[in-house]
Structure 1
Amino acid sequence: MTTHQDIGREDGPETATTTFEDLGLGPEILKALAESGYTHPTPIQAQAIPVVLMGRDVLGCAQTGTGKTASFTLPMIEILAAGRAKARMPRSLILAPTRELAAQVAENFDKYGKYHPLKKALIIGGESMSDQVALLDRGVDVLIATPGRLLDMFERGRILLNDVKVLVIDEADRMLDMGFIPDVEKIVGLLPKIRQTLFFSATMGPEIRRLADAFLMNPKEVKVSTGASAATTVVQAMAVVEEIDKRETLRHLIRIEEVKNAFIFCNRKRDVDVLFRSLKKHGFDVVQLHGDMAQSARGETLEKFKKGEARLMVCSDVAARGIDISAVSHVFNFDVPIHAEDYVHRIGRTGRAGMEGHAFTIASPDDGRFVGAIESLIGTTIPRIEVEGVPALDLDMTARKGRGGRTGGSKDSKRPARSKDEGRKDEGAKPRRERKPRREETPAAEIEAEAEVAPAESIESPREERAERPERVERSRGRGRDRDEPRRDEPRRGGRNRDEGRRDERGGRRRGRIDELGIGEMLHPDGVIGFGDHMPDFIAAAVPLPVKSAKSAGDSDADMDADADMDSESED
């Protein structure tokens, strides 16, 4: 019985002598493989194909460029050879993270399944949806799709997934990096529970392991190499220069190296366009490829590069996987990748099929932490080289550099702290006004003392001045008061009452103070019926007082004048 530890050994004698005939494939597939020039399977193919033909779930982990695509396409063709597809109900589903990888899988089915009457459909963004719907209506055996377009098709009712017998999740770690895992989980929830699931990834981190445990049922684990290791056929080198010297360094390396064709990777899409125009200006035959391009333009670019019409291709990580061009001689990392695993996938574009390749990385001193993570992942130090005419520098392992390329700087480059006196305005500038203490910051004893010693003139004079001023008509803020009715002696909202702390002429008590029973006196005018300290305007209503025929003994002259004014206002 084969155990998990036995699976994945690529140094055994059986892998060197194994042929495709030994794996249990049919004569039609063997004929197609022979015409393609393949006789011996790669280690991942030799281990995975028999397990898939047994109908078992597979968890495959192998570095890029080892033939993972053929390890599931070949047995799937053999399994799907018997059966018939139904309209809008595919029999198998392959999920890929990028359009290029999905197109690469479709090419494998065309190449290896040309002697089988299988129908396939490629459902990716950037293509005509009506044409894709027409393919689904005729029935397909193999559906190759990206998660976003597949969910769009399902929500439109153009596809049914309840007849899928085989599910393949390709490049699962790339799915995780691109944020497609929620879509993948939703798609898996739409599939039948009884199915065969093939899960392939170049790396096997904790999150990928969790997804595999959720999607697979009693899987066979096939691991032919460490999850993230550089191919031994790739010669690596690194030049550390200033950011401003990176383009000159790249041009010099292209000129001195025997570059047949090369990928040039940038971290950001806009940097791809800038570097493309720069190389074009200096006379290089170059094309560009990134995710913001239309699908037709992306396909045209790849075709031109594959045919050799363009020697260089500046691209983002969208081309790091899924582009199978065996004769790529060089890879240039114009930017050090943010994720260490992406470095392995980038340089895996060269040195394929046993051929020797070269990978050059152009780093700046602030890329020290990223380079350290890469070297820790691959388990070796990338050799440093010097470029003629460009000063070589050392990496700063303490610098922090963001995804956008801006650095936070090292400790020595940080802006010095400003002293207390630094940054103040000139001496001729207006000095800052001192802040007045809030009411709650002022001691209660001081407030009461100020109220007690207030002279009578300061209390009476404002009332006399208001009596002499002409009455102003203010706009009402509530629905209960007439628009033209003047507002008199009403306390201001949210602040201290104007008459707070003054002695009441009738009762002798201070308005707004708390009496012996702990009940506060109302602050609204005497002619208003209401309750509470802050009466809403729409409730307050003015009530006219009766006209007094004679002056009473207890009333003062000022009170009589105020009553007369009230009567005249009510009559108006």
Structure 2
Amino acid sequence: MPFNDLGLDADLLKAIDESGYTEPTPIQAAAIPHALKGKDVLGIAQTGTGKTASFVLPMINILAKGRARARMPRSLILCPTRELAAQVSENFEKYGKYHKLTMALLIGGVNFNQQDKLIDRGVDVLIATPGRLLDHFERGKLMLTGIQIMVVDEADRMLDMGFIPDIERIFGLTPFTRQTLFFSATMAPEITRITETFLHAPERVEVARQATAVETIAQRLVAFRPSRRDVADREKRDCLRRLIRAEGDKFSNAIIFCNRKRDVGVLHKSLVKHGFNAGAIHGDLDQSVRMATLNGFRDGEIALLVASDVAARGLDIPNVSHVFNFDVPTHPEDYVHRIGRTGRAGRSGTAITLCAPSDTKYLEKIEELIGKQIPRDESAPAAEPAPEAAEAAPAREETETRGRSRGGRGGRDRDRGGDRGGDREAEREQRAPRERERDRGEQGQRGNQSGGGRGGRGRGGREADRPVVGLGDHVPAFLLREVKLKKPAPRKSAKAAAAADAGETVADGGETKAA
């Protein structure tokens, strides 16, 4: 079915044709006709199938008639991340270049005053993340009573990021008569509850089984087994570099996903150190840095983009040849979204996942979700132990054994400090005999000083090298101090004691008087 049969106006068709698209994707062909009729739409489709155009095209067509008013946008699109919101705005500029529609992008990391000026002039399309939208509303700079069309994009990601309470509040601020377009790759029970509450007889459009991967993506699993725990991270980075080099001519660029932001920075520095052209993106970076890195990757200036899951949803970078999961995602839905960054718009792609023994439980959940086993790659190049680590292994193992016999402290230090933990433990072992000898000498001197005036009856009278039972070789200083006893009170005579019991006192001369 060509775009001409969907009911879009001539200006939209011209912009679509100039963008290089000739036929709509299944989700677009199913959702656009319902949206043009003013119906609520519940769209469920895997990532990379063109969901963004499914709501952008009908919105432009509907909003072509009418005029925006100050501080009262006519339509609202909610996105979970800044990058996805920026991408949606790019789609509006591309498809709406022959329409005189105004647009404002409300995301974090941008000055409030610039956004306020756009809202004050009036906008037809407001694209926002939930947090920044509510910030403007609470400051009295925005009213949502004029919303005609409301779109929630990547609703399952909203759920993962904890935006569901904000979404429910925003729904309550918009008119009951609005048209709602709700898109998600998966339908968790919480999302189902929201659609039943806020959508009115929606047309359900589902073009693929929930949480399935695009068939054009070749998936592979590489089992990673470190030689020792303390060098696991180093060997894993080495294994990744070998996998990248092994792809040869098939490799042009790749997104590498890590579970933690800290690991993103470490892996990025390691790749740059070994001569790779790499950039990094995660949620703690400034928005300008994130956008500059994404633009560099999109333009081909950066070959490897190391990212957290902030880049796993909705980013449309068409020519990504590879996706590497440096870490197996802890949420199975994230796997589908990560590998969906490649193989977009009918292109082929490759997704390679590094799986350590501790990731088995996450892998089982992923394979259960996608309904098939990820092919194992037995021919993948394995990581080689670092030479310096292999040489230090015997000495460290002996040190760890001594550390465990003394209470396990050596093992904990090794986990915290990596290779340095064993070295510190060995140094302590070497210093221990000298320190114990010195401590015993100091204790003997203190004992002689404190006990010499008391005939050797005090604690200091012990021999200098004789340990105190129960305290080991180290005696606390307060136990070595001289103790001064109080002089006992004089005893009463028998006569005085009897008189005291009778309530009488004894005079100096021995006479008894009544008390």
Q: What is the match of residue 173 of structure 1?
A: 156
1:379 aligned residue (351, 371, 374): 371
> Counterparts in 2 of 1:141-156, with a 5 A limit?
141-156=124-139
* Separation of aligned partners in 2, 1:22 and 1:204: 30
Q: Point out the more displaced range, 378-387 or 25-34.
A: 378-387
2:304 corresponds in structure 1 to 312
Identify the residue that residue 549 of structure 1 maps to in structure 2: none
Alignment of 1:297 with 2:244, yes or no, is no
**Residue in structure 2 matched with residue 527 of structure 1 by the alignment:** none
Q: In structure 2, what is the equivalent of residue 279 of structure 1?
A: 271
Alignment of 1:363 onto 2:355: yes
Structure 2 residue corresponding to 1:556, chosen from 496, 503, 510? 503
Structure 1: which 5+ residue stretches go unaligned?
A: 1-17, 393-405, 407-425, 432-460, 469-503, 506-554, 561-572
Q: 1:353 aligns with which of 345, 356, 361?
A: 345
What letter is aligned with 1:253?
L
Kindly provide the CA deviation profile for residues 230-285 of structure 1, in whole angstroms up to 9, marking residues without a partner as x. Answer: 11000011111123421111101111113101000000001000000000000000
Q: Which residue of 2 aligns with 1:76?
A: 59
Match for 1:254: what amino acid?
A: I
* Residues 12-57 of structure 1, C-alpha deviations (whole Å, 9 max, x = no match): xxxxxx1111111111100100111111101000110010111111
Point out where structure 2 has 5 or more consecutive residues left out of the alignment: 227-231, 386-414, 416-466, 473-488, 508-515
Which residue number corresponds to residue 61 of structure 1? Answer: 44
What residue number does 1:321 align with? 313
Residue in structure 1 matched with residue 406 of structure 2 by the alignment: none
**What's 1:521 paired with?**
none
Instruction: State the partner residue of 2:259.
Output: 267
Give the count of matched residue pairs: 397
Q: What amino acid maps onto 1:146 in structure 2?
A: T
Q: Residue 138 of structure 1: which of 95, 113, 121 is its match?
A: 121
Aligned in 2, Cα 1:463/1:353: closer, same or farther, shift over 3 Å?
A: farther
Q: Which string of whole-angstrom CA distances, capped at 9 and with x for unpartnered residues, describes residues 124-169 of structure 1?
A: 0001111110000110000000011111101111111111111101
Question: SS in structure 1 opposite 2:109?
Answer: coil
**Counterpart secondary structure, 2:220:** strand
Determine the C-alpha separation between the residues in 1 that align with 2:164 and 2:208: 25
Distance, in Å, in 1 between the alignment partners of 2:83 and 2:212 is 23
8 Å Cα contact 2:331-2:362 kept in structure 1: yes
Q: Distance in 2 between matches of 1:318 and 1:78?
A: 31
Question: 1:557 deviation in Å?
Answer: 1.7
Deviation at 1:390, TM superposition (A): 3.3
The whole-number CA distance in structure 2 between the counterparts of 1:87 and 1:188 is 21
Equivalent position of 2:241 in the other structure: 251
1:81-480 matched pairs, under 5 angstroms: 81-241=64-224, 242=226, 243-244=232-233, 245-257=235-247, 258-386=250-378, 387-390=380-383, 428-429=469-470
1:37 matches 2:20:
yes
Q: SS in structure 2 opposite 1:353?
A: helix
| One-letter amino acid of the counterpart of residue 372, structure 1 | E
Q: Tell me the distance in 1 between the aligned counterparts of 2:27 and 2:299.
A: 29
Paired position in structure 2 for 1:471? none
Shift of 1:189: 1.3
Q: CA deviation at 1:462?
A: 12
**Contact in 1 for aligned 2:73/2:122 (Cα 8 Å):** yes
**What is the identity, as a one-letter code, of the residue corresponding to 1:556?**
G
Report the Cα distance in structure 2 between the residues aligned to 1:190 and 1:372, rounded to whole angstroms.
42
Q: Contact (CA 8 Å) 2:47, 2:314: kept in 1 or not?
A: no
Corresponding residue number in structure 1 for 2:408: none
Specify the SS of the correspondent of 1:369: helix
State the one-letter code of the partner of 1:151: L
C-alpha distance in structure 2 between counterparts of 1:315 and 1:277, whole Å: 13
Give percent identity, aligned residues only. 60
Question: Which has the greater radius of gyration?
Answer: 1
Cα pair distance change 1:194/1:240, threshold 3 Å = same
Shift of 1:428: 3.6
How far 1:388 moved relative to its partner? 2.8
SS at match of 1:163: coil
Report the residue type matching 1:246 in the other structure.
K
Check conservation: 2:85, 2:105, Cα contact below 8 A.
Answer: yes
- Structure having the higher helix fraction is 2
Aligned partners of 2:42 and 2:13: how far apart in 1? 25
